[in-house]
Structure 1
Amino acid sequence: MDPTHIIEALAGVVPGSPLATALAARAQIMGLSQASHDAVLVPRDPGGLSHGERAALAARMAREHGDATLAAHYHGLLRTAGETPVLALLADPQTPAQGGGFDPRLAALIRHADLLTRAPRDATRGDIEALKAAGVAEADIVRLAELAAFVNYQVRVIAGLRLLKGL
């Protein structure tokens, strides 16, 4: 997979196809999407949200949306970052935040990531306060929100490209 075009590759866009031609005319959007991917998932300074946690949460979100190809991409990033048994559980949306054996911080991150994936409109100030109470720094709350926003954007763009590919 050409690492500069992850969305196109995961959507199965065939080089030289009409869809590839249309996307080439919008290369700036694809480039900005790739830059967002890199900034959100593998930033130089991950702060308090490690590369492994980011990849595991992204895989969890992709799996929650039913996108196995995107989840596999994020599992690859997780392996590169250093997959641990805890991160493997975190990546599985079937593993609940409560009762999954996670420390309070990870449980809070999972609850919030699940909320932002399943029902973002239901997020409240109380949810942010719960993250803070679990020891998540404000900057990391922003990082988590950026991650959720990007993965959910990516899921939708890839789904749309897959639909267009079939036309």
Structure 2
Amino acid sequence: MTQKTPATDLLDTLAEIAADSPLAAARNTRDAATEHTQGSYQALFAADGTASFPLAARLKIAQQIARWHGDTLLAEHYAAELASAGEKYAIADEKLQAAFSHAERLSFKPANATPEHLWALQASGWSTDAIVTLSQLIAFVSFQSRLVRGYRLISDKPVTDNGHTTAVAAVWRTDRKTQSGNHAPVAFTQDELNWEPWLPAKALAEFNASQQATLARFGHTDSDYFRLLARDLPVLEQRTLTDKGIFYTAGGLPRKERELAAAVASKVNGCIYCASVHARKAAQLSRQPEAVQRLLDVQPGGVLSVGQDARWQAEIDFSAALSATPPTANAADITRLRQAGLSDLELLDLVQATAFFAWANRLMLTLGEPFEK
């Protein structure tokens, strides 16, 4: 494995991770997640961006998202990058303001997104491809900010005090029909669901042979969701590798508890589809379907950890607090998790599994909706 250094890994720098620390060793163990989190950042903020979505605009939006998520260090990083980039290829104010409105909605209330919001972006000059990249950027910085906070907490570094209110289940969509007229789920469930996009997925024939091979390598060929995200294939590729590095690795936090963290984040963000996938996995792996269903049944405003055993209570409370906007997870949460027996590697896995669904939920909720099979 290649040891990451502050020179090559942004999160090492922002989280002040000492090279000889237990957290650095844990991140090195999770080298794929570490590498491709950085790769995702580079794919989104490389060079000058594109003519339709230039780097200066990306950095402006990222800076504001970091502020909304209560991450001063990350906001300062993007401010410095913006100062270096200048205003090259700046976009029209109307187009930029539409992007900020989209970013604010996804930061604070992603379950409120509707197809009409995407149409408004298009009306202000955003292409379908650029809307996908914009949504990826918003969701990625939401993920990135939670990693910074989580890593700093594990290393006993100070974080912004965003209050100590207990994070709770969010409101979710209860419309009985989707945009296309399919039956929509109105409650969280462990049942398998389908998902339909609000923007057209890119047809497989529109990808070249190399791009089709990339889709096939990850099993994305027949998925509307992934062929929609593949409108920005470099970002999708890095995101997929990050996902695999977080969830499909040996040792550390048991897989059932990583899946539990994903379900908790999905409850905080109001994402029925993601919760259905990961609650089902958590139930299967833990052989505790009733306990998982108890989590899913918590109503808006309810505390998610009620009725769970002590270890799950500690994990659920932490994941919920890290998923809130802005996050409220604090040093006391880490102390409680350590008292429950979690090692540094297990804490890293919990942070990364939770944070990843700040990314995944925001894509699922903004680009389409679930429907019942």
TM-score by length of 2: 0.38
One-letter code aligned to 1:114? E
2:102 paired residue number: 112
Q: Which residue, 45, 48, 59 being the options, matches 1:41?
A: 45
Contact 1:105/1:134, CA 8 A, preserved across alignment: yes
Note the alpha carbon deviations across 1:121-161, whole angstroms, 9 max, x for none.
Answer: 21111110110111111111111001011100101111111
The one-letter code sitting in structure 1 at the alignment partner of 2:98 is A
Amino acid in structure 1 at the alignment position of 2:61: L
Residue correspondence of structure 1 range 102-141 to structure 2 within 5 A: 103-141=93-131
CA contact (8 A) 2:63 2:76 kept: yes
Deviations 1:61-117 (A, max 9, x none): 001111111011111211121059xx8xxxxxxxxxxxxxx7321111110011111
Structure 1 residues 103 and 83, CA gap change in structure 2 (3 angstroms):
closer
1:45: Cα distance to partner? 4.7
The answer as to 2:16 corresponding to 1:4 is no
Aligned to 2:135: 145
Write the distance in 1 (CA, Å) between the matches of 2:23 and 2:6: 17
DSSP-derived class of the 1:146 partner? helix
**Structure with max Cα Rg:** 2
Q: 1:10 offset after TM fit, Å? A: 0.7
Count the aligned residue pairs.
151
Q: Normalising by structure 1, report the TM-score.
A: 0.83
Q: Structure 1: which 5+ runs fail to align?
A: 88-101
1:46 Cα deviation from its structure 2 partner: 2.1
The unaligned stretches of length 5 or more in structure 2 are 157-333, 335-373
Q: Which has the higher contact order (CA 8 A, sep 6+)?
A: 1
Selected match of 1:77 from 70, 76, 81: 81
Q: Name the % identity.
A: 34
More helix by share: 1
**Residue type at the aligned position of 1:63:** R
1:15 aligns with 2:5: no
